[in-house]
């Protein structure tokens, strides 16, 4: 694929969890510094993700992380909120550079609407396109940090361990404590607990 101009990779993290915001990142990799070991964030250990995230922040030509809140997820639905977070990350890079973006390569099969540049959806891009892999890593590490903050704000749910996913320990805490404001009440497991209360 030969494209002139600035190309960013884009990915999201946090569509499946029962709690917390959904995050997205956009990354323009440097032509002069190749970051070794980029891969789909789900294939990397937390330690390796953190190491690579530090390298991306230091050496990428440009990067941005954005999110859509739990309230926006509830209002829009999780797909549209994910696309909104992606749009925010892409727009932040587009307006933050002397040279505008030419192309956004987005993981998955859907593109955010009204992008400030051309967009291309790539299924499996987080494992095959280095810039999307980098975005996947930044989105995941930022979301995990946010879940650690929520764990301090709302102790007892174990957010620092399961990051909001519907693990047995998380579901047990939900039944015991009820949902907190960080929970996505439209998601079926949370909704069922609310209906049973």
- In our burial notation (b when 16+ CB lie closer than 10 A, e otherwise), range 117-129 reads bebeebeebbeeb
pLDDT in tens, 162-182: 999 999 999 999 999 999 999
The answer to whether the beta carbons of residues 65 and 86 sit under 8 Å apart is no
The encoded tokens of residue 165 equal 């996913």
In angstroms, the CA 138 to CA 51 distance is 11
pLDDT in tens, 34-55: 999 998 898 999 999 999 999 9
The encoded tokens of residue 66 equal 């954005």
Averaged pLDDT of the chain = 95
Nearest to 75 by CA among 185, 188, 160: 185
Going from the N-terminus, what domains does the chain have, and what CATH number goes with each? 6-196 (3.30.420.10)
Task: Name the phi and psi angles at 129, rounded to 5.
Answer: -115, 115
Counting other chains too, the contacts that 92-97 makes at CB distance below 8 Å and 24 or more residues apart are 92/26, 92/64, 92/66, 93/6, 93/8, 93/26, 93/28, 93/62, 93/63, 93/64, 96/62, 96/64, 97/6, 97/28, 97/62
The pTM is what?
0.94
């Amino acid at each position: 694929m030969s494209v002139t101009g600035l190309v960013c990779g884009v990915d999201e993290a946090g569509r499946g969890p029962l709690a917390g915001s959904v995050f997205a990142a956009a990354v323009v990799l440097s032509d002069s510094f190749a970051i070794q070991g980029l891969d789909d964030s789900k294939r990397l250990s937390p330690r390796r993700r953190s190491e690579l995230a530090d390298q991306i922040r230091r050496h990428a030509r440009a990067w941005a992380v954005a999110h859509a809140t739990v309230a926006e997820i509830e209002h829009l639905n999780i797909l549209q909120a994910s696309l909104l977070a992606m749009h925010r990350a892409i727009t932040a890079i587009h307006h933050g550079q002397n040279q505008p973006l030419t192309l956004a390569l987005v993981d998955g099969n859907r593109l955010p609407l009204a992008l400030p540049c051309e967009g291309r959806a790539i299924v499996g891009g987080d494992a095959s396109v280095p810039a999307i892999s980098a975005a996947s890593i930044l989105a995941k590490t930022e979301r995990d940090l946010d879940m650690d903050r929520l764990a301090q704000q709302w102790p007892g749910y174990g957010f620092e361990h399961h990051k909001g996913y519907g693990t047995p320990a998380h579901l047990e805490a939900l039944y015991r404590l009820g949902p907190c404001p960080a929970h996505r009440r439209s998601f079926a497991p949370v909704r069922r607990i609310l209906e049973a209360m």
